[in-house]
Amino acid sequence: MIKRPFAPWRQHRLARSCWRLMALALLLPAMVAAQPATPREPLTFESPAEQARFQALAAELRCVVCQNQSLADSNAMLAQDLRHEVWEMMREGHSDEAIKRFLVERYGDFVLYRPPVQANTVVLWVAPLLLLLAGAALVGVNIYRRRALLDSEGEEET
């Protein structure tokens, strides 16, 4: 193997990406500033149990802005607002169900990671079961056929 000669272009490229990074770093505060500056105080919890309840609830709710993150994970502005809303409703003594209903009334079933079983979600809930049954039936038929084949071969031999 011939050792590769020193490649100035590689260094060049590296330097260029460094510059890009620096430019991005300069732009970043401007991008952050594009969001309104209304500071939210971090949520405080009275007990570990309350915190656990909050986190379990937030993990089950979808962030509507960034649709593949949960409300617990997202740092989007709306997610922060909604976390605050959930926290406040918990403090006011609302049940988990009431809090979920509050969000579904505004954002639709989509906010729930576990959608309720209803007319438009039946396929979602039943299809896996049906597929499993279809697969089992297929395997069963195959086994039955092969066994019949083996049996008939065995009969021929004797």
- Binding interface with other proteins (CB under 8 A): 34-36, 38, 64-65, 67, 77-78, 81-82, 85, 104-108, 110
What φ, ψ does residue 73 adopt, rounded to 5°? Answer: -85, -30
Alpha carbon 87 to its chain's center: 21
Beta carbon nearer to other proteins, 5 or 36:
36
Give the shortest CB-151-to-other proteins separation in angstroms: 21
Q: How far apart are CA 74 and CA 83, in angstroms?
A: 10
Write down the least CB distance from residue 112 to other proteins, Å: 12
Neighbouring-strand partners of residue 62:
70
Q: Which is nearer to other proteins, 35 or 158 (CB)?
A: 35
* Closest distance of CB 108 from other proteins, Å: 5
Q: How many CB atoms lie within 10 A of CB 89?
A: 17
- Name the residue among 85, 90, 118 with its Cα closest to residue 109: 118
CB 83 within 8 A of CB 57: no
Q: In angstroms, what is the minimal distance from the CB of 109 to other proteins? A: 8
* Closer residue to other proteins (CB): 54 or 74: 74
Between 16 and 145, CB nearer to other proteins: 145
